[in-house]
Structure 1
Amino acid sequence: MANATDCADQTRQRKSRNSPESTQALGQPGTVSHASSTPPWTNGAIQPIQHDKTLKSGKGDSPEGVEAVVTAVAHATIPAWVNVGFMLVLIFGGCCANVFTLEAIVSDMPHAGALITFTQFVVTSLLTLPNVLSFSAGPGSLFLKERAVPLKKWIIFTAFFMTVNLMNNSAFLFKISVPLHIIIRSGGPVTSMIIGYLYNSKRYTQVQILAVFMLSVGVITAALADARAKGKSLDIGLSATDNEASPVRTLLGFAVLGLAMVLAAFQGVYADRVYQKYGRNNWREGLFYSHALSLLALIPTYQKFLPQIKSVLSSPAPFSNLTSSQLQPVFGTLVSIPLLRSFLSHVPLKLLYLLLNALTQYLCIRGVYLLSAKSSSLTVTVVLNIRKLVSLILSVYLFGNHLSTGVMAGAAVVFLAGGIYAWEGARLRKIQQMKAKKSE
């Protein structure tokens, strides 16, 4: 009898251990613990997919399960795509608009490069100041937040940044037209690849090299065809008889742009190292300090800006005389709005161009800094080269220019090169992920 009783007790104990209540109390896999009334995923984490008896019985495709999967995928992918879309809007929207305002200014004021740079730095510094402003930091820190990156690093980066900007804008002093400006700077990806290989131990596949070469050829082809279609001068001055477009003057302009490309490539390498060491989320800090520190170097030269500022403020305001302006279609639409008519009729034309150029430059550079914090310097130059072609194509629709065969051919080559570069980048990332999984 004792043995029978012991067996019965053991049977009851096994049943109690296998009961749902006991299983929940122990928190074993495959069940949900009710110890806390608040699920762990209510704080923003992705709800875990539970592999319980429902899945085993073939009922795992219930609406609740499908909804959980969709929610998980959305949480993982939507923020990334929104971030990418935001970068593309800033770069392609801001930079393309900036090219149009730049051409409108330098066509009448070829010596305004320094003033353009100064205005851009002032506007960008003011718009990015809230990101680093902290009244609790006190006057000893100039009410600026504690920096994530040492100030010395930003000073070196600013030296690259300011020098490149001044050299690019000063190239117009040597009678370098905007189309030639675009063509010469299209060598940026090639320069970035060479500098990255020599000084940053970067290694590139043959597909990446081919894509970068095609990209440069495509932009040059499109820029040449666009300039011919618009009747713009592509004379590099080698056969000129006047002093303004002498061969020496033109070659000096090419040398300035070439040196600016090399310095820009070194700037990209330096930025890569800074972001790798201190984190890639500090791009807002870099955007402010690179422009604010540049102003400290430009302010002592304010006397050079005075004649240019007087010329800007003395420019005519009425928009009825803008028949030759490249931005006439845009301003013609704005003037048709009654609320803006009175304001725009009193604003000097060149001042409006200058402010629009500074604002679009802020949007452009914000997108570039965000992209540089998320990708390599070569990827940044590739995206910017594609943006240059988009600027040419948009001019067809905004200003009624003819889309020549050369522009279409160049566009096809550029977009094909961009697709090849993106495909190769995705392939390399997939290989790296597979290697990382194997090492784990």
Structure 2
Amino acid sequence: MNIKAFSAILCVFLGCCSNVVFLEYLVKEDPGSGNLVTFSQFLFIAVEGLVHTIMTRNLTPKIPLKNYSLLVLMFFVTSVANNFAFDFNIPMPLHMIFRAGSLIANMVMGILILNKKYVLSKYLSVLMITAGIVLCTIISGSDVQKTTVATSTENMNIAYSDFFIWVLGIGLLSIALFISAYMGICQETLYKRFGKHPEEALFYTHLIPLPGFVFIYKNIKEHFNIALSSQSITLPMLSIIGLKIEIPQMIFYLICNVITQYLCISSVYVLTTECASLTVTLVVTLRKFVSLLFSILYFKNSFTIYHWIGTGLVFFGTIIFTEVLPRITEHMQIRKHKQE
């Protein structure tokens, strides 16, 4: 493994895991800040991509802009829906477990649209993932229901409305999951037709949707004001060298979230160009598991034995689906044979 690949793996863990941490900080302070986070990420990546495009003078896209239209729309909807789901009583661990179920949506879309057929092990692994997500969802739903009922004995309508809001959040995540899977199929079709241009796709899928945020600008403005009025903190890095600059705590979290999101996405891109798909799959899967563990332990999120069972089913189902273990064994045998 070369230095570039090793650095990419480190940056994936550093960028993606820390991104989830800062997102959870934001959500705990203000559960409705999802649209603000999404807009900030889109704006930063679009501006960075614009500067890079102008500097390299690659002003003519390799893929015509009209072919990006459906891809851009789906990416915008899924990004907004995934972050907006926190406003519907969705806890961070369940959010991560649910999004790890993308393989289910990919398989369903593959069967319905591409008429794909899979071996038995694939169906079994997806069944494991589905069972894990369903178990975690049911337990989390029970926790929400118990909490709302316990705190709303004088007004049962509030209890039921809180649970209904949670159900809407699950529905939102489910819709985003399947749209994201179909988006993957569209992206694969574009790449087959025009060649792979992931950096260009990253730029245009973040630049073109920016006007769409006009429709939710009131929500973005409201939560930006909430972030501005949050408690001030001294910037930790500057305080080391004797500079005392204070900014609102949530603004600091937001800046860190946006920067780490860019680090995460760009590192995954480098990883896909430097490493085999086996390495990429393994790194991304382990990263998700590490993020989940950190969220449970550091933020002390509610996580029962049933959640652990569900998480185990999702994690091992993913390992089976991606055939990581057989491919690692095969890779080791090939290396052993070459050494001999």
Q: With structure 2 as the length reference, what TM-score do the two structures score? A: 0.76
More helix as a share of residues: 2
Q: Name the residue aligned to 2:253.
A: 353
The alignment partner of 1:148 has SS state of: coil
Q: Does 1:168 align with 2:100?
A: no
Q: Is the 2:230–2:250 contact (alpha carbons within 8 Å) kept by the matching residues of 1?
A: yes
Candidates 143, 167, 171, aligned match of 1:234: 143
Q: Name the residue aligned to 1:125.
A: 46
State the distance in 2 between where 1:202 and 1:250 align. 34
Q: Aligned in 2, Cα 1:255/1:135: closer, same or farther, shift over 3 Å? A: closer
The alignment partner of 1:347 has SS state of: strand
The alignment partner of 2:17 has SS state of: helix
The alignment partner of 2:60 has SS state of: coil
**Aligned runs of 1:61-140 on 2, under 5 Å?**
78=1, 82-83=4-5, 85-134=6-55
Q: Is the 1:157–1:267 contact (alpha carbons within 8 Å) kept by the matching residues of 2?
A: yes
Q: Greater RCO between the two (CA within 8 Å, min separation 6)? A: 2
Summarize deviations over 1:192-216 as a string: whole Å, max 9, x none. Answer: 1111222134332222333444456
Q: Is the 1:239–1:247 contact (alpha carbons within 8 Å) kept by the matching residues of 2?
A: yes
The alignment partner of 1:132 has SS state of: helix
The alignment partner of 1:202 has SS state of: coil
Candidates 222, 233, 254, aligned match of 1:318: 233
State the distance in 2 between where 1:133 and 1:236 align. 53
**Aligned runs of 1:262-281 on 2, under 5 Å?**
262-280=178-196
Q: Is the 1:174–1:249 contact (alpha carbons within 8 Å) kept by the matching residues of 2?
A: yes
Task: Please identify the structure whose Cα radius of gyration is greater.
Answer: 1
Q: Is the 1:105–1:354 contact (alpha carbons within 8 Å) kept by the matching residues of 2?
A: yes
Summarize deviations over 1:65-122 as a string: whole Å, max 9, x none. Answer: xxxxxxxxxxxxx45x844x45533443322212111111112212212111111111
Summarize deviations over 1:362-387 as a string: whole Å, max 9, x none. Answer: 12233455567899999988865543
Q: Aligned in 2, Cα 1:249/1:215: closer, same or farther, shift over 3 Å? A: closer
State the distance in 1 between where 2:278 and 2:114 align. 12
Q: Aligned in 2, Cα 1:340/1:207: closer, same or farther, shift over 3 Å? A: farther
1:423 to partner: Cα distance: 3.8
Q: Does 1:342 align with 2:244?
A: yes
**Aligned runs of 1:6-405 on 2, under 5 Å?**
78=1, 82-83=4-5, 85-134=6-55, 145-215=59-129, 234-236=143-145, 240=149, 241=156, 243=158, 245-280=161-196, 282-299=197-214, 301-318=216-233, 334=236, 338-339=240-241, 342-343=244-245, 346-369=246-269, 384=284, 386-395=286-295
The alignment partner of 1:318 has SS state of: strand
**Identity over aligned pairs, percent:** 29
Q: With structure 1 as the length reference, what TM-score do the two structures score? A: 0.61
Gaps of 5+ in 1: 1-77, 137-143, 320-330, 431-440
Summarize deviations over 1:330-384 as a string: whole Å, max 9, x none. Answer: x8xx4795227613xx111010011111112212233455567899999988865
